[in-house]
A and B are shown apart, each in its own frame.
Chain A
Amino acid sequence: MDIDDILAEVSGDGSPPETRDLQELTRAWVTERSAPELLPWPSDLMDRVLGRIHQQIEVVEEQVGNVDPKTNFRLIIIQTELERFKYLVRSFLRTRMAKIDQYTLYMLSNPTQTARLSACELQYANSHQTLLEAHYRSSFLSQFPTSLQRLDDTAGGISMIEQPDPDAAVFVRALRNIEEPVVIEGTDTDFQMRRGDVYVVRWSAVQEHVLSGDAELI
């Protein structure tokens, strides 16, 4: 498949919704893996994908033990596909969890970031943070002077809250022509992104285009 084919499929409505979901899932996975910060949770997409995975598992469970070679072969194909889907979803979730673990305090203290977590993830972030805090406290913090016991201290020149780096470099490809030139903050560089163009730029410069679906990370 050529890049142009892939690009054509993005705008084309010819493909069935299942194929488009796979494409969306793959894209969400790639984007999540390359973006420095956590992206919004694609709840509709995930509901659909998880629902379908569940359906297929049921199909497999129903037909297992069938000795007819034809069904058996079909079953193997379904299972292989299932494994691949499960891998995508698993890797996607684990990537998100890795980011959540790294930037927990930042996400929990920032409403826009908190809104990007799914309900389970929010619960995980909260309980993990509580556990960590209890662990630090019982290990040594409780014996500290009270003024030094906080974990989200920003005084003293160094903030204790770790944040993702918005200026990290990402590879980005434009999926549609972007009319306004992309301006890189703090420099006098700007450029026009045409469909199919690939750039290496700071995440902060293209963030909104990626979130709106005009561009994708690669």
Chain B
Amino acid sequence: MYGDLGLKLVQHAKRTQALAHLPPYQTELVRAVTREVRDLDKDVSNVLAPFEGSFNPSAEPAVACNVLVDHLCMRRNKRCLLAYHRVRSDKLEELCWKGHDVLDNDSVPSGRQDGRGEGSGMGSDSGNQSSLSPEEEEYVRNYSDMLAAYKGQWTDIDLTGSLDPPRDLFIDVRVLKDAGEIQTEYGAINLSKNSQFYVRQGDVERLIAQGYLQKLS
């Protein structure tokens, strides 16, 4: 029926909003909705063809109604498609802001579904399809570039920094994953797993965001 597929797409979008990761791109659905729009458009031209441009809605109310329904369906489908893509691109932007490497990480959630750990690395890529469409990958790349350029104008502020008001200059952190050695103003610290440090928040913020360190309260 008209618009059924669009509804499915919007339901997917709704679900995506509540998820932490990005579910696979619904290539088939998007294609089907686009096809529906094209079919509707063809239908409209077919219906209007006999009138040769001199169509008078009040003279032929049945035809006018047909055309109107088709038009409304096309518009609705367009809105569904836009909403679906907007939700996904918003999600992608959010990931960019958090500093995740979206293009690398997107194989992780699907890797888990197969019962393989995220550490299995190499293998998970080839077996699983990426959850991004090629267009989205392109978009993420461009957006990250633009974000990097924009951030470059605010080097003193660190735009992607934490949005929680700072309480203390120094915090306790525990190392969850080996992160190697980092340089701070007070010398080098070797972040080996399970050790605990009292460090300046600004120095380790990125590592906390990336999941290497855990902040202890």
Instruction: List residues of chain A with CB under 8 Å of any chain B CB.
Output: 50, 53-54, 57, 64-65, 76, 79-80, 83-84, 86-87, 89-91, 93-94, 101, 120, 123-124, 127-128, 131-132, 134-136, 138-140, 143-145, 148, 151, 156, 158
Contact = CB atoms under 8 A, between A and B. Distances in A.
A140 B38 CA distance: 11
A157 B26 CA distance: 29
A128 B146 contact: yes
B201 interface: yes
A177 to B, nearest CB: 33
Interface in B28-46: 30, 33-34, 37-38, 41
B78 A127 contact: no
B52 interface: no
B120 interface: no
Interface of B: 30, 33-34, 37-38, 41, 71-72, 74-75, 78-79, 81-82, 85, 89, 93, 133, 135-136, 138-139, 142-143, 146, 150, 153-154, 156-159, 161-163, 165-166, 168-169, 185, 200-202
B142 A131 contact: yes
20 contacts: A50-B157, A53-B157, A54-B156, A65-B185, A79-B200, A80-B169, A83-B166, A84-B165, A131-B146, A134-B139, A135-B138, A135-B139, A139-B85, A139-B135, A140-B33, A143-B37, A144-B78, A148-B41, A156-B71, A156-B72
B161 A90 contact: yes
A93 B154 contact: yes
A139 B133 contact: yes
A152 B98 CA distance: 30
B159 A148 contact: no
A135 B202 contact: no
B137 to A, nearest CB: 10
Q: Is the interface of B mostly helix, strand, loop or mixed?
A: helix
Contacts of A158: 75, 79
A144 B34 contact: yes
Contact of A138 (B41, B93, B135, B156): B135
A144 B72 CA distance: 14
A131 B143 contact: yes
A128 B78 CA distance: 21
Contacts of B159: 90, 93-94
A53 B158 CA distance: 12
A158 B78 CA distance: 12
A11 to B, nearest CB: 28
A196 B33 CA distance: 56
B136 A135 contact: yes
